[in-house]
Amino acid sequence: MKKKLITIKNYLDYVCDGKFIVTSDMIITPGAKDKIRAANLETIYEKEKCCVAHENKNEGTCKKNGCEGNRNEIKSNEELEKKIIEILLKKFNITDVERVKVILQKVKESIK
């Protein structure tokens, strides 16, 4: 079985709904582990990807293995925070933890 090397450059490819999905075919570098911890992402251990839709980054609802996860649905403040962190990391490549915290705080203040 071919292993996937997860690094600081590609770990965001495996983030879905604020969760980092770990499968048995992954090798995660220490740097990637640090970034995952710094982003406060929940780590989920699976035998395989939650679903192909998540793996291919398609929109829609996952129904595999009872996941019922929707890539666009935000259910709580905690999920909102994780989604904002995910966007800052993926879309804007902001990796500085303190900067992420400041932006997150300003977004919370503007929403209230």
Residue 108 has pLDDT above 70, yes or no: yes
Q: What is the 3-state secondary structure (H, E, C) of the chain?
A: CCCEEECCCCHHHHEECCEEEEECCEEECHHHHHHHHHCCCEEEEECCCCCHHHHCCCCCECCHHHCCCECCCCCCHHHHHHHHHHHHHHCCCCCCHHHHHHHHHHHHHHHC
pTM over 0.75: no
Q: What whole-number percentage of the chain has pLDDT above 90?
A: 13
The pLDDT mean for the chain works out to 75
Widest Cα–Cα separation across the chain: 49
Per residue in 54-67, pLDDT (tens digit) is 444 444 445 444 45
> Which two tokens mark 54?
């998540």
Q: What is the pLDDT of residue 48?
A: 54
* Residue whose tokens read 């705080």: 105
Q: What is the pLDDT of residue 99?
A: 87
